[in-house]
Structure 1
Amino acid sequence: MAALQLALAALLDALIGDPPHWPHSVRLMGRLCSWLEPRLRAALHSPQELRLAGLLLVLAVAGGFGLAAWLLLALAQSLAAPLGWLLGLLLSFQCLAAGQLWREAREVARPLQRGELDLARRRLAMLVGRDTQELDRAGLRRALLETLAENLNDGVVAPLFYLALGGPALAVAYKAINTLDSMVGYNNEQYRELGLVPARLDDVAGWAPARLTALIMVAACPLLGLNAGLAWRVLCKDHAAHQSPNAGWPEAAAAGALGLRLGGPNYYDGELVEKPWLNAAGRDPMDSDLEFGLHLAQLSTLIAVLLAGLAAWWLRG
């Protein structure tokens, strides 16, 4: 039943994604973080105290939501087994973000392919941390492909990994950790101390899924006519060049699979940040590469769902 629950959650995610007006646990996580942060900052000030504040954020948001999910599931299961199963399905569905990722990628790709660069820049700015105002077409394509690869891990494979391993409550806890990292896990003056614990914990939680994501992407290449050999070579050579211990794996795999040059210098909050290239010998992306990148993400999602379903069946029945 665990495998069926996971498969149905993935199907619902692919079909309806994240309806904007539905109540969603991730939005509640974000609101709790936004409510707690100024109150912790008002009470804790020194660098050491701000690191403690980051730990308290993790305990409150990730620990709180994970525990709440576990208790709600236990309560629902005690009332009626089908009710517990349906609640688990709902929580599992809300942990996945493949459908939303694909829709958002298309919303950037379509105006970009039509030459509506300003619209593409505005939409892309909602997905990435870099400055998008001055990106040219190649830069916009590159940023979109990179966020597709990174979020394939963060929003799809990693939640599937934790759903298979421990069920909906563990996946909710992971999702809370990842949400905290996206909100406070920045290496800048404002968040360097407070965001340290959430960022490091997200690195740990995403370590195995990121490597699994990259391997799945390489395995998907032959089915799409992409270069699995180059994907593997670039993955092995360039994954460690990325500043993130995890994002470099799927991004390097995507660069090799598509034969593209990804990464490189970008502006963040008006400041140029020098980053190494992934597959430096590759070419700049074209519009057609956006479709190949999306197809690679979709097929990789399907493979990940199959693997997670098998793992859930073996581990939890």
Structure 2
Amino acid sequence: MKYHMIAFGLGFLLDLLLGDPYWLFHPIRLIGSLIAFLEKKLRKEKDDTAKQFQMGILLVVLVLITTLIVALAILVGAYWFHPIAGIVVETVMTYQILATKCLKVESMKVYAKLKEQDLEGARKAVSMIVGRDTECLDETGVAKAAIETVAENTSDGVIAPMIYTAIGGPVLGFVYKAVNTMDSMIGYKNDRYLYFGRAAAKLDDVCNYLPARISAYFMIFVCTFLGKAFDGRHAAFIYKRDRYHHASPNSAQTEAVCAGALSIQLAGDASYFGKVVKKPFIGDAVRKVEFEDIKRANRLLYATAIACEAVCLGVMALFLVL
């Protein structure tokens, strides 16, 4: 537990300092390559819906088992060699699981382009972090897309993997990331993945159910410490009212808090692959969305991540004492 606490804390600090440099190898790319490889082998257009669903389950099982075995072998091997080596390896693995600075860096690219009044550049930048069509978005639409991504991924990309890593070390953390990566690659409700990707999508919903709600409560809590631009009471109100205004049971949890905290309206209809998808709004349009809200959303992200990290370390310390 002592070694785990050290690595957990250092990994979080590395994430805040370094983020995800493009030149640095990232193991999630290997998981993505494995998913793509298995999809080519298992998904056949001629298969009926039942067979596609079964092959999708098989893909999920194979990816999770492979991730578990590889991560466990690396970690156990490092600690077997020497405790210091184990701490170093676990620190690096923990760092690679979290995505706090990466999320900030990518969203702030959108902010920078909007500040320069470069709408085309902003559309291109936001297209790198969202799944919707961005070609027809105006400045408000681009800003909203970036804010929603920061809000949603506060849970998916930061708090959820942090919680799973705190509970089961980087092995469980990477298993969660494998689930999340499968959902982002094949968890779509379109003709290609409706049945083949259903198991991945449902598993992601299950794995994120509690973390999404924990993230929302942390976000509400930290509003108190972030100044006048953040309204904690309104965040709590909008959370209770709008937390299920999304097709996913989890995505609107943190989006609702963010919308309420900033007194803006998020979500609404969006275009995916040329098709407009009807979506309810989240939050009230107390004021118009502005590009500065991207920066505010990132402040909320960082405060939430720090609060959760502190609580996780506190719980670990308690177990260490007991």
Q: What's the TM-score, normalizing by structure 1?
A: 0.96
Aligned twin of 1:156: 158
Aligned CA distance change for structure 1 residues 20 and 66 (closer, same or farther; 3 Å): same
Structure 2 SS opposite 1:240: coil
User: Greater RCO between the two (CA within 8 Å, min separation 6)?
Assistant: 1
Q: Provide the C-alpha distance between the structure 2 equivalents of 1:173 and 1:18, rounded to a whole number of angstroms.
A: 19
Aligned twin of 1:236: 240
1:147 paired to 2:149 = yes
Bigger mean CA deviation after superposition, 203-212 or 50-59: 50-59
Q: Provide the C-alpha distance between the structure 2 equivalents of 1:117 and 1:281, rounded to a whole number of angstroms.
A: 23
Q: Provide the C-alpha distance between the structure 1 equivalents of 2:288 and 2:64, rounded to a whole number of angstroms.
A: 39
Aligned twin of 1:253: 257
Structure 2 SS opposite 1:241: coil
What per-residue deviation string (whole Å, max 9, x for no partner) do you get for residues 203-238 of structure 1?
111111100111111011111121100000000000
Query: By how many angstroms is 1:296 displaced?
Result: 1.1
Equivalence map 1:1-317=2 (5 Å)? 1=2, 2-42=4-44, 45-225=47-227, 226-315=230-319
Q: Provide the C-alpha distance between the structure 1 equivalents of 2:23 and 2:184, rounded to a whole number of angstroms.
A: 21
Query: By how many angstroms is 1:43 displaced?
Result: 9.3
Bigger mean CA deviation after superposition, 84-93 or 251-260: 84-93
Kindly, what percent of the aligned residue pairs are identical?
35
Q: Provide the C-alpha distance between the structure 2 equivalents of 1:13 and 1:27, rounded to a whole number of angstroms.
A: 17
- Contact 1:263–1:276, Cα closer than 8 Å, also in 2: yes
Query: By how many angstroms is 1:295 displaced?
Result: 1.0
Gap runs ≥5 in structure 1:
none
- Contact 2:156–2:180, Cα closer than 8 Å, also in 1: yes
Q: Provide the C-alpha distance between the structure 2 equivalents of 1:45 and 1:88, rounded to a whole number of angstroms.
A: 42
Q: Provide the C-alpha distance between the structure 1 equivalents of 2:222 and 2:206, rounded to a whole number of angstroms.
A: 25
Aligned CA distance change for structure 1 residues 229 and 26 (closer, same or farther; 3 Å): same
Gap runs ≥5 in structure 2:
none
Q: Provide the C-alpha distance between the structure 2 equivalents of 1:316 and 1:77, rounded to a whole number of angstroms.
A: 19
CA-atom RMSD in angstroms: 1.5
Query: By how many angstroms is 1:281 displaced?
Result: 4.2
Aligned CA distance change for structure 1 residues 282 and 8 (closer, same or farther; 3 Å): same
- Contact 1:18–1:99, Cα closer than 8 Å, also in 2: yes
- Contact 1:165–1:311, Cα closer than 8 Å, also in 2: no
- Contact 1:220–1:299, Cα closer than 8 Å, also in 2: yes
Query: By how many angstroms is 1:262 displaced?
Result: 0.4
Query: By how many angstroms is 1:315 displaced?
Result: 4.5
Bigger mean CA deviation after superposition, 59-68 or 226-235: 59-68
Q: Provide the C-alpha distance between the structure 1 equivalents of 2:294 and 2:82, rounded to a whole number of angstroms.
A: 46
Aligned CA distance change for structure 1 residues 262 and 74 (closer, same or farther; 3 Å): same
Structure 1 SS opposite 2:23: coil
The residue identity in structure 2 corresponding to 1:253 is V
Q: Provide the C-alpha distance between the structure 1 equivalents of 2:107 and 2:82, rounded to a whole number of angstroms.
A: 40
Structure 2 SS opposite 1:165: helix
- Contact 2:6–2:87, Cα closer than 8 Å, also in 1: no
Structure 2 SS opposite 1:135: coil
Query: By how many angstroms is 1:313 displaced?
Result: 3.2
Q: Provide the C-alpha distance between the structure 1 equivalents of 2:320 and 2:75, rounded to a whole number of angstroms.
A: 15
Structure 1 SS opposite 2:43: helix
- Contact 1:44–1:53, Cα closer than 8 Å, also in 2: no
What per-residue deviation string (whole Å, max 9, x for no partner) do you get for residues 267-310 of structure 1?
11111111000114433311222221121111111112112222
Query: By how many angstroms is 1:79 displaced?
Result: 2.0
Query: By how many angstroms is 1:70 displaced?
Result: 1.3
Query: By how many angstroms is 1:44 displaced?
Result: 7.8
Q: Provide the C-alpha distance between the structure 2 equivalents of 1:282 and 1:176, rounded to a whole number of angstroms.
A: 39
Bigger mean CA deviation after superposition, 221-230 or 257-266: 221-230
- Contact 1:164–1:311, Cα closer than 8 Å, also in 2: no
- Contact 2:267–2:282, Cα closer than 8 Å, also in 1: yes
Q: What's the TM-score, normalizing by structure 2?
A: 0.95
The residue identity in structure 2 corresponding to 1:263 is A
Q: Provide the C-alpha distance between the structure 2 equivalents of 1:223 and 1:77, rounded to a whole number of angstroms.
A: 39
**Aligned structure 1 segments of 4 or more residues deviating by more than 6 angstroms:** none
Q: Provide the C-alpha distance between the structure 1 equivalents of 2:114 and 2:309, rounded to a whole number of angstroms.
A: 30
